[in-house]
Structure 1
């Protein structure tokens, strides 16, 4: 998949549109993670992936051959630079939101594992003289729903 442009100005305009749409989608994902609703981030995932691949491909093409955009009017190139800066800022925001979600998720999993371990170590025998059995240190499997 590639941008098919008639000239440098057309290519830059298309890259601006691509960058702005990708920025918008990633901002929506960041908002979903910040609101602790990661399931909402999934609704645009297919489009985000498609546009991110196109962006990566086009960025590599321009980096390899700067002449593809060199002839574009300076105001268009400046708009592309600004769109790219906004994109970078949104990526940083999304990174922070993802890191926070990861930290929370790991804490929840750790708390569940500790609770399971403590429940197992309390198991004891039956009768008036029964004592709690020491924990055996056996591994406990935890199954997670990948769609959650």
Structure 2
């Protein structure tokens, strides 16, 4: 069941925007939606499907950054600081931040689980491949020379 990250009261209170303001609002809504979908897929343990959203998310983030920079240069396009356009964009941005916080929580949780699994596997490999100790010439323990090191590598980006 996909999430509906933009509450209807925010959509209904949308003022008439044009130019970079309208583009920023559109991109903020789309970015919030795609991040919420990705979070939902990760919660459902569907990392491949979540990974398929990465290209679209990267494109939206680049457009969002460029549009935001254009608005920073031309601040007067949105009117005074208490204008309806600024209030609306602030609401959308707050919603995006909340969605990003949820996303970060699930990512950190999944990262901790993955690191725990990798650590456990590594410790088990070390236990199994621990060199056998033998007595040397001076009656002290020394590892046998045939022991080979074991490495573990996982290279996958989500």
Q: TM-score, normalised by structure 2?
A: 0.71
CA distance in 1, matches of 2:93, 2:153: 40
Greater fraction helix: 1
Aligned CA distance change for structure 1 residues 116 and 80 (closer, same or farther; 3 Å): same
Shift in Å, 1:124: 8.5
CA distance in 1, matches of 2:154, 2:99: 29
Aligned CA distance change for structure 1 residues 139 and 56 (closer, same or farther; 3 Å): farther
Aligned residues: 133
In the alignment, what sits opposite 1:105? 114
CA distance in 1, matches of 2:109, 2:132: 36
In the alignment, what sits opposite 1:94? 103
CA distance in 2, matches of 1:135, 1:45: 49
CA distance in 1, matches of 2:144, 2:84: 70
Shift in Å, 1:147: 5.7
**Are positions 1:20 and 2:38 aligned together?**
no
Map residues 1-12 of structure 1 onto 2, 5 A cutoff.
Answer: 9-11=17-19, 12=21
In the alignment, what sits opposite 1:119? 128
In the alignment, what sits opposite 1:3? none
Moved more, 80-89 or 30-39: 30-39
In the alignment, what sits opposite 1:144? 154
Shift in Å, 1:141: 1.2
8 Å CA contact 1:36, 1:101 repeated in 2: no
In the alignment, what sits opposite 1:78? 87
Q: C-alpha root-mean-square deviation of aligned residues, in Å?
A: 3.0
